[in-house]
Structure 1
Amino acid sequence: MAAMNGGGTRRWGWGSGRAEQSRTEAQAAKDAAAAAFYELDTAQRDLRISIETITAVDASPAGRKAAADFADFGRRIDSVSHAYITTVDAHDLDRDDLDAAAASRARAELDRARQELERVKGELDRFAQGLGSLLTRAENQLARLAPAIERARQGLLAASNALDAVRAQGLKADALAARLAALSPELTKLNEGAGTHGVQETLQRADRVVREAEAIRAEAEGLPQKAADIDKRLASLRTRTEALQTRAGQVEPVLSELRRRFSVACWQDLQNVPQQAEHSARQANEKLGEARTARAEQRWPDATSLLSTVRALLNTTDEAVKAAGERLRRLNEVAFDHSEEVERTRFAIRDAQRLAMAGRSTPDPRHAQPLDNAVERVDRAVASLSGRHPDYWHLLTELDAVRETVQQVVERIRHERASGS
């Protein structure tokens, strides 16, 4: 058989060695392509985790573009992977009759498949590098997630403990308890996690729960002091109401003296003060009683509001009662000697005139005119004092008005000079 085949045996030996070499090279190309395929698949899997991290947190255009670009890469990876698998399936490097030419073709096609896999892998790596800032920001937000949820839970626990503590002191906290109960659905959603509600929404919800729980805790802890403050205000306003009722009864004698000694114009605007003072004092007493009831029932907002009303009523009444006494005092002074009030006003005018002339040879008409008018108003007011019962109140109100006008001129001059106008 050897003699029959002759040189054929020698060709087989040469061809077999070449085929084995080609098979070895093809197998190496196959192994390299498999490694490239594995690296690409691993890179895609790793990057998918990064993309999922970004899309879970970042709904910005940049985040959406990253997801879209990754999806596009997925399609390209599927394409080169399919080409690689098809190439591998097309070449059985283990068959006995594999010749050198077939092995060489297999090696070439596997090399091309590997190169395509490596090319796409390189592009994927560059894409991943470009996601650095987006991924860092997303990871930072995710890192905030667990601590934020834990802070919310601890905040709710602290608020609950604070409510228990004030209740142990015999204080009601029904409104605060209702607010705390309203947070229960929020806690349920926090427990369901970001996978259900999204990272951003979960972080925002956790922050809201923390703020509200902290407010409830602070208000609960402040209830004992609030109760003490309300008790103190009740006692203080009760004393003040009693004192004001006494003072209100003294307005009528003041009015009687005003009527007896001064003209109608000096006291007619005070005619209703006694009735108003009595009415306001009576209202204050009623509201004070309502505030005591609210305090006993621990309706803290109602008690606080009622006490503010009482204070406002007392302030109004106090001002009216003071006005009558102050009117008599000022009228007594000016009736005895009006020259001091007049001179005080003239001095204010002269002082303003000196300021208006400072650094000038002639005054600015905008300043001079109102000051000249002020001088004339004082003269007219003084001249109006005539008859058995001069209108001293008109004199006082006119002098007050003149001084206010002069002060406005002074302020205008100083402002203009400070601004350089």
Structure 2
Amino acid sequence: MSGLGGAPAPRWWRRDREAVAREAATAREAAAAAMLELDAALADLPDAVAAAEEAGAGPGPGVGGGRAQHRIPAPDSLARDWRDLSTHADAVIGHYLQALSNHAADDVGESAPARAAADLGAAATALREVHGQVLRFREQYGEVLAAASRARTAAGDAVSAAHAALTGALAALAGAAGSGLTDAGVQPLLDEATAALTAAEAALAERRSADAATAAARASRAAGAAADRVRGLAERAAEVRRGAASVRTRREALGTRHERLASVMSELRRRYPLSAWADVERAPQRAGEALAQADAALAALTAVLAAPALDVPEAAALLARVRAAAGRVDDEVRAATSRLARLDAVRSDPGSLLGEVQRAVVDARRFLGGLPEDRARRFRRTFEDLARRLPPLEEAVRAERPDWGAVLREADSIGQGLAALVRTARAD
């Protein structure tokens, strides 16, 4: 029998073998397609599950002694289900690869195509079943996996931001150095930022997103602090230079005032007993010590300002020391001078001092009189104790040889007590 066009028709057994071969080829293609789908479905799951497990592992120690934040609550079943699914998927894939290897060659015996069709068809079916299981796993744990993925993305962004912050701080430091300015406190911050960034990158590579985010935030903070210090160097340097010029001028005036202090102390010794000014007796010595400290700090400041690279914080600290020492000189001179002036004033016109205390007593009495009785009662005893000290003060002023130092101390004490009483009553 001939086929169409006069060509001889294939024998029946030949036709059967070709059909089986086509079935085997179809099975091979179906299995390969199923394998591709399964591989695509599984591609990101190991990392996603690992990230979810790590993110939900609980608040463990973070980098640098901190605590990892933003943990994601992963169900306890996630690890178990993933372990079972991945083990089963590996076994099915292994069977598929074995079947593919067993039937790699065509026409190996008459039964080979049939066996290939059966084995590869079974492999395709098994691969599709696993694919369905993977999709169901994704659906069940999709929210947790997505949250872990977002956490990993956020951690990656945080690491990138920290890297940019550190790069910016280093560039700012280089620019300041080019202008002859430096800050010894910047390098420790940069070292901290570098170490934290290294830890963040390592944690990110190990899929520890929470620790990576924590370390990256620490790196960004340290780098930002370093950049802030560097950016303010030029303005602070200008302030220090202006301040240095000012304290040099002030130092000359302090020297003159300190020299005049000797005459003030001489007048105190000549006019009044030691009890009237004992608390300022050592004012010249204390002022001299403070002046020496100001000179030492000023010399150190001058050296720092003359250095090739100006350490701005060090210069600012020295300037502050100069000002503090100068302030102590001023305080000592002012205390002694003021004591002499007050003693002279009360000796020449004691009535003025008494009048101030009397007015304070009257004002406090009027204030208490305007309060509700229950409130006024709480302060009346204190007021009466203070008011009773006024007559003895008046007698001390009228004494033949008044102790003007004691008079001043008592007048101040009464006045301060009355002022404190009024403040307390107002706040009550």
> TM-score with structure 2 length normalisation?
0.69
- What code does the residue aligned with 1:381 have? L
> How do 1:65-104 and structure 2 match up within 5 A?
69-79=81-91
Q: Take 1:57 and 1:162, find their aligned partners in 2: how far apart are those partners?
A: 43
> How do 1:370-389 and structure 2 match up within 5 A?
370-389=382-401
Whether the 8 Å CA contact 2:343–2:404 is kept in 1: the answer is yes
- What code does the residue aligned with 1:74 have? S
Of the three residues 365, 387, 390, the one matched with 2:402 is 390
How far did residue 401 of structure 1 move?
A: 1.6
Whether the 8 Å CA contact 2:265–2:336 is kept in 1: the answer is yes
Q: Report what 1:354 is aligned to.
A: 366
Of the three residues 296, 314, 320, the one matched with 2:326 is 314
Q: Report what 1:242 is aligned to.
A: 252
- What code does the residue aligned with 2:38 have? L
Query: Is it true that 1:214 corresponds to 2:227 in the alignment?
Result: yes
User: Share of identical aligned residues, percent?
Assistant: 25
Whether the 8 Å CA contact 1:245–1:278 is kept in 2: the answer is no
Specify the SS of the correspondent of 2:388: helix
Of structures 1 and 2, the one scoring higher in RCO (CA 8 A, sep 6+) is: 2
Of the three residues 26, 36, 39, the one matched with 2:37 is 39
Q: Take 1:342 and 1:128, find their aligned partners in 2: how far apart are those partners?
A: 88
- What code does the residue aligned with 1:162 have? A
Q: Take 1:192 and 1:111, find their aligned partners in 2: how far apart are those partners?
A: 41
Specify the SS of the correspondent of 1:249: helix
Deviations 1:345-377 (A, max 9, x none): 233333333333435346644311110001012
Whether the 8 Å CA contact 1:270–1:324 is kept in 2: the answer is yes
Of the three residues 395, 411, 415, the one matched with 1:403 is 415
Q: Take 2:414 and 2:357, find their aligned partners in 1: how far apart are those partners?
A: 7
Q: Take 1:336 and 1:401, find their aligned partners in 2: how far apart are those partners?
A: 21
Whether the 8 Å CA contact 2:35–2:124 is kept in 1: the answer is no
Q: Take 1:410 and 1:291, find their aligned partners in 2: how far apart are those partners?
A: 47
> How do 1:1-400 and structure 2 match up within 5 A?
38-51=36-49, 54=51, 58=55, 60-61=57-58, 62=72, 69-79=81-91, 113=126, 116-117=129-130, 119-130=132-143, 131-164=145-178, 166=179, 171=180, 173=182, 175=184, 189=198, 194-195=204-205, 200=212, 203-204=216-217, 206-207=219-220, 210-211=223-224, 214-215=227-228, 217-218=230-231, 221-222=233-234, 225-297=235-307, 298=310, 300-358=312-370, 360-361=372-373, 364-400=376-412
Specify the SS of the correspondent of 1:50: helix
- What code does the residue aligned with 1:372 have? E
How far did residue 80 of structure 1 move?
A: 5.2
How far did residue 121 of structure 1 move?
A: 3.1
Whether the 8 Å CA contact 1:180–1:216 is kept in 2: the answer is no
- Of residues 22-31 and 139-148 in structure 1, the stretch that sits farther from structure 2 once superposed is 22-31
How far did residue 323 of structure 1 move?
A: 1.7
Q: Take 1:34 and 1:300, find their aligned partners in 2: how far apart are those partners?
A: 70
How far did residue 191 of structure 1 move?
A: 12
- What code does the residue aligned with 2:42 have? Q
Q: Take 2:260 and 2:150, find their aligned partners in 1: how far apart are those partners?
A: 78
Specify the SS of the correspondent of 1:389: coil
Change (3 A) 1:329 1:308: same
How far did residue 72 of structure 1 move?
A: 3.5
How far did residue 327 of structure 1 move?
A: 1.8
How far did residue 250 of structure 1 move?
A: 2.4
How far did residue 405 of structure 1 move?
A: 1.7
Change (3 A) 1:139 1:70: farther
Whether the 8 Å CA contact 2:41–2:135 is kept in 1: the answer is no
Gaps of 5+ in 2: 1-11, 13-18, 59-71
> TM-score with structure 1 length normalisation?
0.70
Aligned residues: 391
Q: Take 1:184 and 1:144, find their aligned partners in 2: how far apart are those partners?
A: 13
Q: Report what 1:6 is aligned to.
A: none
Whether the 8 Å CA contact 1:263–1:390 is kept in 2: the answer is no
Change (3 A) 1:29 1:196: closer
Specify the SS of the correspondent of 1:250: helix
Q: Report what 1:7 is aligned to.
A: none
Specify the SS of the correspondent of 1:76: helix
Specify the SS of the correspondent of 1:384: helix
Deviations 1:168-217 (A, max 9, x none): xxx36495896699689759959987537966177357526633651464
Q: Take 1:317 and 1:129, find their aligned partners in 2: how far apart are those partners?
A: 74
Compare the two structures and name the one with the higher helix fraction: 1
Whether the 8 Å CA contact 2:268–2:277 is kept in 1: the answer is yes
Deviations 1:47-74 (A, max 9, x none): 235346x369847444876566533421
Q: CA RMSD of the aligned region, Å? A: 5.0
Deviations 1:136-195 (A, max 9, x none): 22223324444543443344234323322x1xxxx3649589669968975995998753
Change (3 A) 1:366 1:162: same
Specify the SS of the correspondent of 1:247: helix
Whether the 8 Å CA contact 1:266–1:391 is kept in 2: the answer is yes
Q: Take 1:196 and 1:112, find their aligned partners in 2: how far apart are those partners?
A: 36
Specify the SS of the correspondent of 2:389: helix
How far did residue 116 of structure 1 move?
A: 4.2
